[in-house]
Amino acid sequence: MSKRFVITLITLLVIGIAATAAIFLAKGYTFSTKEKRIVGTGIITITSVPDAASVYIDGHLTTATNATVSSLVPKEYSVKVVKEGFISWEKKVEVKEGLVTDLKITLFPAIPTVYPLTFTGVKNPILSPDGSKLAYIVSSTSSDGSLNKKAGVWVWTLKSDQPIAFARGAEPHQIAESRIINYTEATVRWSPDSKQLLATVGNNNYLLNDNGINSEPRDITAILSATLKSWEEDIKTKDEARFLNIKNTEARKIASSSANLKWAPDETKFMYTESSVISHQSSDSLKTDSEASLKAEDSLKFKVYDLDTDQKFDIPMALSHTWLPDSRHIVLVEKTQISVVDFDGSNKAIIYAGGFDNSFVFAWPDSSRLVIINSLPTPTASEPNLYGINLK
């Protein structure tokens, strides 16, 4: 065997060992002097909205979002994310050998801005089943007692691609005028497809299209029962399709038998309670007594089932619970405050405290704000109006 061949063999061996070591290091493995062996490590990736927030791991300032923290010994870490002007985020995070733990964090303003969205007064607001539209009533009389020309039924198409400031295409539009029928005390319901409204005025029931003025509203009182039955069947069909898409049999059983089921917008999770106080109803469009619903839901213990991980989480108790459109947070409505929590029940952030109508709170489709009803009597606005609360 020649000297040159031996040197070549040794060189290739060294290169192979170095390459193997580099691959192990790239995969997060490291040599433990304590255990005298190569051990695996884990990685945490941290992104936040807004970004450039400080990340503390076990109390030590480690990096800033958005970033990757590698070579972490497998164990439980305390991760805290802090940014001036925002509510801090903190959670115990389990790091496992050879795995990446992905943290997607939303930081909410410590002092949110509250501002009016309507000025004409709002009654009986109701969100469409798909969350893209809002219907409400404007009263027949103005604050000075005169006839309000804007009185009637209004629809606001909520544009998720619009900025927080009003855009022309996102403004509310009137679909029924009270000079034809007095809608002042009307209750409205959305159809399951979010394209029509059923307005009940006394003993009469009118079907309204949501895309223009209904100058001759259609009275469907004679076929009301058949119409509602058809809507219920549509909802049932949609629910059954959702249940069939659940692969885990336990999760499917929980969802189909839940007393109160609320799907996350992306349908990767659902919120439920095993209590029988509230009968199952997947769409809020057919609810007519929100106050009764709030009283029934009060003190019920909700859980979240994550279909991606087959994990269940307890959610803090509140008057009502609703998903943020990002499917990662839940809005908790209490008597005098509104909070947002992560879907696993952690990181409760109080967004608003004060007076508001706790029977109606919803989130804008892009999760940029919450919408509440409040009464701030002034010489020009004596009735309740919609107010926005910034989340970003």
Domain boundary among 106, 128, 158: 106
Q: Is residue 265 part of a domain?
A: yes
Q: Are residues 289 and 347 in the same domain?
A: yes
Mean pLDDT, the chain, rounded, equals 85
Of residues 99 and 12, the one with the higher pLDDT is 99
Q: Are residues 78 and 223 in the same domain?
A: no
Q: Are residues 86 and 198 in the same domain?
A: no
Maximum C-alpha span of the chain? 110
Number of domains in the chain: 2
Q: Is residue 33 part of a domain?
A: no
Q: Is residue 18 part of a domain?
A: no
Domain boundary among 55, 82, 106: 106
* pLDDT confidence bin for 169, thresholds 50/70/90: very low
The region of weakest confidence among 11-20, 194-203, 232-241 is 11-20
Q: Are residues 98 and 174 in the same domain?
A: no
The region of weakest confidence among 57-71, 144-158, 173-187, 360-374 is 144-158
Give mean pLDDT, residues 238-256: 93
Of residues 161 and 381, the one with the higher pLDDT is 381
Q: Are residues 177 and 318 in the same domain?
A: yes
Q: Is residue 213 part of a domain?
A: yes
- Segment 334-356, tens digit of pLDDT: 999 999 999 999 999 999 998 89
* Bridge partners (DSSP) listed for residue 109: 86
Q: Is residue 10 part of a domain?
A: no
Q: Are residues 129 and 88 in the same domain?
A: no
Cis ω before 384 (30° cut-off from 0): no
DSSP 324-343: -TTSSEEEEE-SSEEEEEET
Return d(Cα 112, Cα 106) in angstroms, integer: 14
Say if strands 42-49 and 100-106 run parallel, antiparallel, or are unpaired. parallel
Q: How many CB atoms lie within 10 A of CB 45?
A: 15
Give mean pLDDT, residues 133-147: 77
Host domain of residue 100: 41-106
Q: Is residue 366 part of a domain?
A: yes
Q: Are residues 97 and 113 in the same domain?
A: no
Q: Are residues 385 and 329 in the same domain?
A: yes
Q: Is residue 19 part of a domain?
A: no
Q: Are residues 63 and 201 in the same domain?
A: no
Do 354 and 336 form a contact (C-beta atoms < 8 A)? yes
Q: Is residue 16 part of a domain?
A: no
Q: Are residues 169 and 62 in the same domain?
A: no
Of residues 158 and 11, the one with the higher pLDDT is 158
pTM for the full predicted model = 0.81
Q: Are residues 102 and 177 in the same domain?
A: no
Domain boundary among 89, 106, 123: 106
- Segment 45-80, tens digit of pLDDT: 999 999 999 999 999 999 999 999 988 889 999 999
Looking at the predicted structure, is the pLDDT value of residue 132 above 80?
A: yes
Q: What is the pLDDT of residue 145?
A: 59
Q: Are residues 290 and 323 in the same domain?
A: yes
Residue 315, SS3? strand
How much of the chain is in helix, strand and coil states, percent to nearest 5?
20, 40, 45
Looking at residue 213, its amino acid is: I
Q: Take residue 347 and report the two structure tokens written for it.
A: 């990181």
